[in-house]
Each structure stands twice: as structure tokens, then as C-alpha cells.
A and B are shown apart, each in its own frame.
Chain A
Amino acid sequence: MAEKRIMLGNEAIARGAYEAGVKVSSAYPGTPSTEISEFLSKYDEVYTEWAPNEKVALEVAAGSCIAGVRSMACMKHVGLNVASDPLYTLAYTGVNAGLVIVVADDPGLASSQNEQDTRMIARSAHLPLIEPSDSNEAKEFFKYAFELSEKYDTPVIFRTTTKLSHSQSIVDISERVVPEDKVYERNMPKYVMMPASAIGRHKVVEAREIKLENDACELPINRVEMNDKKIGFITSGVAYQYVKEACPEASVLKLGIINPLPRKLIEDFVASVDVVYVFEELEPVIEEQVKAWGLDVKGKELFTKQGEYSANMLKRVIYGKDEAVFERAEAPARPPILCPGCPHRSVFSVLNKLKIHAAGDIGCYTLGAVAPLNVIDTTICMGSSISLLHGMEMAKGKDYVRNWVATIGDSTFLHTGVNSLINMVYNKATGTVMILDNRTTGMTGHQEHAATGKTLKGEDTYAIDLAQLCRSIGVPRVIEIDAFDVKGLEAVIKESASGDELTVIIAKAPCALLKGQKFPNVCKCEPEECRKCGMCLKIGCPALTKQADGTVRIDETMCNGCGLCMSYCKFGAIKKVAR
């Protein structure tokens, strides 16, 4: 009997890549896709790396596939936007060995800035997209994606969603089978996309999609489960699980391939069932096409385009019944917050004190937007903080941005922030950019990057010096400072705000959760010395609580002794003591 293991969806995708004989994988971390690369990096037979961004990752994978080995790139949905330049043209070139792009969508916005649907991008890029519904399918479909990629000479998008990536279910383990490397042969009209050859390849793209649409009906990754013919569902991905949970008696057409849709299969299913619902999270990608064919199905008039679906939601719509027994209680919200000992808190506390606005970026430090720090005014996408700040200065002049800074993390700066900084240098900006350098990619769970000195595989490598990088592109004033040096930070920020030189302040201190650190001290508030002023509470550290008598207590299990609260206590009531 095959070995069974319980695996996270992302671990199963990594296992599928290993079993499929993948030799190269490149990725940039992004929830909910990050663990795929982390699990894959444990297989010695597979070269895995963190790239600085998703565009680079996809191009690396494309190069490897052209060279003749099975290759992949992994990213979250918004990462695909960054990679969309190579994506759309790789659809034209096609592949040599198989190329699969894993894209993790985030319905429900567990950790993202939008709810875009990758299936729409697959349609516009004319790329096949396949989608599994549990961990075992994730592994099996992933292997199948390489077969499709090679058979139809096309990159394949493998779509997962948060619920699939971050759920665990049982997987049957198989052996790794490595296909022979493909021979590389120069083929200018296929791989050099200048207009004359792209005109020819566009024809290939269209013919390929028509052929695959016809073949799609026979693919083993689609399945008809015929039960009660009064009610039927066309569904895919995790939504399939909700259908089985809520309406076990219904007939189901479970699609494994979403682009192109298997038209004949869908037409036959709709013809043999009385009422058919299309049950798909986010956009009506399946529904709109099915309706355009003139078929009578129900979809988004009943089900939302927002958030994650559930079995209860389906039961409410189909049967009009609510499973909940108890009323939801009123409870004060507990939103995510910066951790105790987080160096970002220190920087934001200073910005808050100086009443400075920040153009923010993507990372844990986005939490600098909320109370009590209230510093960040804008967050759009990776790298955007620096360009937004520049846009403000160009719109309103240098005095306007004296009470503004851009705040961006070290990993995000290397992702796409550095381009924007080059633009500031080139176009004579005078603003202040703060790189919050915590020596890791924090929010996604501590991934290495080009400035940490370690690779994804844990090997030592050259660590890019961020200060040197900034100087080398011509930033006139670069200051490195300890992120917990509150007085020093205040001084350099004031100085930069009043000056006329483009300044980069690199605030350095490792993420409090980074492994290998020792925290020998804790902060302690002496109740008899506490004047109950509440200044320390303004930094928003979860280790601090105001007690009934108004004095502050510091939870010693949470505190790691960073001392930030201490620097805001005017009365010396908070002291660092040995743990």
C-alpha cells in the first residue's frame, strides 16, 4: 500500500513537483504560496531559490525550461501582476521541457491587498489553468500539469487558493520520476519574440487553445458525479468541497481545467440536470462563458463575488436553512498587531511623535497604519511607497513632503523598491525614504533574501549591503541607524525633513521572531513609580496593559526586553531586569 501522509496543500504541491521530476524552481515569498518553495527546498534533487521578485522568478523558470528541464515558478496572485510581462509572451513562445506557474489566490483576503482572480488572467493570456480541490489532488494535478505543458507546448498556470494551500489532508506518496532532459535546439521564430515571429506564434496560440478546448472534455482531471438529476453544480477547487458538504445528493461536474473550459462536457451536464448552479469563488469566470453559450445556469445572482464560500452559505441559498444554533456574541475586535519587540514599532513611534505621514508598503509594517501608531497613510503594492512619495513631491513641491516619508522593508525594497529609488535620484527628488531593515522577509514567515547572506537552501552567499546599493545609484545622503535608537532616529528624521537632499535612512534591527536571538532581559514597570500617564501605552505594545488602578503591567512571557516602552517613560518607572 502506498504511504499516506497528512500534508498542507502547499506541501503536496511541492511533493508533486518533486515526483514530477522538476529540477528548477524560483519564487518570491507571498502568502498563501510561500511554503511551496520551503518544502521543495528540502529535496536535494531540486534546485530551488528565492528570486528578488516574481518577474525574475518566472524568467528564471522560463530559461530552465528552454534549456530542457522541468521548471516552475511560485507566487501569490498579486505577484503574477509583477510577472505578467514574461507571462503573456511565454504564452507565445511555449516551452521546451514543461513549465508550470503556481499562483495562489486569496479569496477572503487573509493576507493580501486585493481579491483578484487569476483565472481571468489565464483567459487573457491564453494559458491553460488547472485547479485542485484537496492536497492529494494538488499533488496529482501538479504532475499532470507538466504532461499538459509538454504535450501542448505551453506554460500551465496551476491555481491554488488560501483554503487549499493552508489546509491539510491525506496524500498518497509516490516515487520521483525524472523524464529525460529535452534537447535544446536553436529555434528563432519560436523563442525570439520580435514582431515577425510573434505574428506567427499568435496563430499557434489560438490553434493550441482550440485544440485544448476540444481535448479538455477527455482530460482525467474533470469528473462528473451523477446523482439526483433535479439539482446540479458546476464547480472546482475548494468550492467543490462545500458543495459535497452542503448538498451530498446533488449531481456535480467537478472541473480540473478552468481554461479553456471543456464545452461539450458542460453542455451535456447542463442538458441532463434540471437546475444547474455554477458555484465558484470570486469572479464569474465559468458562469459568464457558460451563459454566453446560451445555457441556462444560475450563479452570481445568488452567490457573492467577495470572500470565501462555505457549506453554510450554500445551504442558506439552496434550502433557506441556517445551521447556526447560537447567536454571535459581541466581543471587542482583536486585529493583528506588531509583535512585542518589533523594531518597526520603534520607528513608527518616532514618526507618530513627529506627526509625520508615511507612504507605506507591503509587509508587517503595514500595521503602522492602525491605532495607536496611525502613521501610514497609503499602501498599494510592493515597492510603491517610494514612487508615491516621489509623485507627491513632483505634484506639490519639496516643502509639501517635509512631513512625509516612505517606509519600506528590506525584502520589499529589493523586490521593486530600488527601481523607484533610482527614479528619485534621476529626477532630482529631495524626499526621505526609510528602509525598515529587519534582516528577513518577515510577514510571510522569515524567508531569506539577497541582503541576508543565506540562500533558500540555507547556504552562505554574498549579502547585498543596502547602504552601498543606495550610494551606488547616487543617493546623496544614506544613514544607517539602530531601529531602537529613538533619540537618534528623531534627530535624523528632523534633519532630513528640513534638508534639501534625497535621504535614505536605514533603520536596522532584526525581526523579534527571527530564530537564534537571545532575549536575556524583560522590562518591568514599578507600580509605585508609575505616574499613570499612559505614554508607554501609546506605542501599542501588546505586552503592556493598564491595570484597574491605572498603573501599567508588562507581561513577562510576551516582553523581550526591547526597551522601547522604557524610552518613552519620563519618570523612569520602567526598568530592564534579567529574565
Chain B
Amino acid sequence: MNIMVVGVGGQGTLLTSRIIGKTALNAGYDVKLSEVHGMAQRGGSVVTFVRFGKKVYEPVCEEGSVDILISFERLEALRYAHFLKHDGIMIVNDTRIDPMTVVIGAKTYPEGILEGLEKSHTLYTIDGGRVAKELGNSKVLNSVVLGLAAKHIGFSEDEWLETLKNTVPPKTIDINTLAFKAGYEK
């Protein structure tokens, strides 16, 4: 299984990949993850990969190999859609964050991204930020998105919640659990 998590630096994509990786590890799979650190993280486009199976060699996924693409932002979904397999699926957090190229007016943010992607891909969307805010903490949007993705990755809800509890800061376990369930039950 090849999973790609993309978004904007600071959105929590790395934590999401780590939870997926640990869940797969606990289920007995060989797992590899690839992360992004350093300058590339600073508000830029960030990409992390999770691969699991009987034996995994390469730590990254390549164009044409991704089963599930989880994007925390619409433009990033568009940017990396070509990594998907022909029958791969996309989980998209339905939000817009303008890149600096758009803010300063050098480029325009494309309209109708999701409508366009829907023509060629199986798409599941959620406004994770809104759901998280309704739950009382807009920072747990990544757990909402993870919940939705988890449904399509496999493993039981309990297996996911077990890793979630062991990964997020102890004080935030309850709110993250609620956020995960909100996504999972969508």
C-alpha cells in the first residue's frame, strides 16, 4: 500500500504519516516513511510518504504508484494528483491556502480544482477545519482528515485509535479521538 500525504508546511502532514506508519507497524507490516525537514518545511509545499507491505524497499512513492493521496489543501491535491495509480483515490481537505505567488499577484489560484479532479479520480472531500472548529479546536483538523482516510486505508477503528492515543500529546487525546471519529464516520 502506497500512501502520500501532501499539504502546506505547518498543517500536520508529518504527524498524520507517522500515525499511519505506526498503525501499519502494529499490524505486523514492513513499513517505510519519508519525511520533509528543514527549509522546505517553511510554509512551502510538503510531501510525505508511507509505504507498507510484506517487504518495502524504496522509502518514497513515485508517479503512478500511489493508492491513496491525502491532501490537506486543494491546490496541493492538484499538484500531486499525477502520483496516483489509475484506480488510486484521493482524500482532500476542502480548503484554500494561497501560495505567496498568488498573494503577490504573480499567479492566480486555479478555480474548480475539485470538479476537475473528480472527472478522472475517485475523490472524498471534507472541510476538516470547519469540523475541527465545531469540535472546539481548529488544530485537530489533521485527525479529522486522517479519520476519513483511515476508512479507505483499512485496519479497524480500534487499531487506529490505539496509535492515535500513543502519538498525540496526552492532553489532546480526547479531542483528537473525537476529531478522528468525525472523519471516520463521514
Contact = CB atoms under 8 A, between A and B. Distances in A.
A311 interface: yes
A168 B81 contact: no
A166 B102 CA distance: 30
A333 B109 CA distance: 10
A540 B37 contact: no
Nearest to A442: B42
B147 to A, nearest CB: 20
Interface string A302-340: 000000001110000000001111111111111111110
Interface in B11-38: 18, 21-22, 25, 30-38
B136 interface: no
Contacts of A111: 37-40
Contact of B104 (A35, A323, A331, A372): A372
A238 interface: yes
B104 A545 contact: no
Interface of A: 4, 6, 8, 31-32, 34-35, 110-111, 134, 163, 166-170, 238, 241-242, 244-245, 310-312, 322-339, 364, 366-367, 370-372, 443-445, 537, 540, 542, 544-546, 557
B129 to A, nearest CB: 8
B58 A241 contact: yes
Interface stretch (B59-67, B150-158, B169-177, B178-186): B59-67
Given A245-B58, A334-B75, A540-B104, A168 B99 contact: no
Given A242-B57, A337-B100, A545-B98, 8 more contacts: A6-B25, A111-B40, A169-B56, A310-B60, A325-B86, A335-B44, A338-B42, A540-B100
Interface string B52-93: 000011111011110000000001101101101110000000
A371 B104 contact: yes
Contacts of A545: 98, 103
B44 A337 contact: yes
A144 to B, nearest CB: 22
B144 to A, nearest CB: 14
B38 A110 contact: yes
A170 B57 CA distance: 12
Given A111-B40, A170-B25, A335 B60 contact: no
A111 B39 CA distance: 5
Contacts of B60: 163, 167, 310
B103 to A, nearest CB: 6
B122 interface: no
Contacts of B42: 336-339, 364, 367, 443
Contact of A335 (B36, B99, B108): B99
A516 B107 CA distance: 37
A245 B100 contact: no
17 contacts: A6-B33, A111-B38, A163-B59, A169-B30, A170-B30, A310-B62, A311-B62, A312-B63, A323-B64, A325-B64, A326-B64, A326-B82, A331-B110, A335-B44, A338-B43, A339-B10, A444-B38
A35 B14 CA distance: 15
Contacts of A170: 25, 30-31
8 smallest CB-CB distances across A and B, nearest first, come from A111-B38, A31-B38, A336-B44, A332-B107, A167-B59, A334-B99, A324-B63, A323-B64
Interface in B138-167: 138
A32 B39 contact: no
A350 B98 CA distance: 24
Contact of B75 (A167, A238, A332, A335): A332
A8 B35 CA distance: 9
A335 B104 CA distance: 13
B38 A32 contact: yes
B99 A163 contact: no
A535 B125 CA distance: 36
A124 to B, nearest CB: 27
B104 A537 contact: yes
Interface of B: 8-10, 18, 21-22, 25, 30-45, 56-60, 62-65, 75-76, 78-79, 81-82, 84-86, 97-110, 120, 129, 138
A367 B82 CA distance: 29
Nearest to B50: A168
Nearest to A324: B63
A326 B64 CA distance: 7
Nearest to B121: A326
A166 B36 contact: yes
Contacts of A6: 21-22, 25, 31, 33
A244 B59 CA distance: 12
B37 A445 contact: yes
Contact of B103 (A35, A168, A331, A540): A540
A4 B27 CA distance: 13
Contacts of B10: 339
A577 B87 CA distance: 48
A238 B9 contact: no
Given A242-B58, A325-B84, A339-B42, A331 B75 contact: yes
Nearest to B25: A6
A244 B57 contact: yes
Nearest to B49: A167
A256 B78 CA distance: 40
B63 A166 contact: no
Contacts of A327: 82
A429 to B, nearest CB: 30
A471 to B, nearest CB: 33
Nearest to A372: B104
Contact of A168 (B32, B43, B76, B108): B32
Contacts of B65: 323
Given A323-B64, A545-B98, A166 B34 contact: yes
Contacts of A335: 44, 99-101
B82 A110 contact: no
A148 B84 CA distance: 45
Contacts of A325: 63-64, 82, 84-86
Contact of A334 (B35, B44, B59, B110): B44
A328 B84 CA distance: 11
Contacts of B22: 6
B112 to A, nearest CB: 12
Given A325-B86, A326-B81, A545-B103, A163 B34 contact: yes
A311 B58 contact: yes
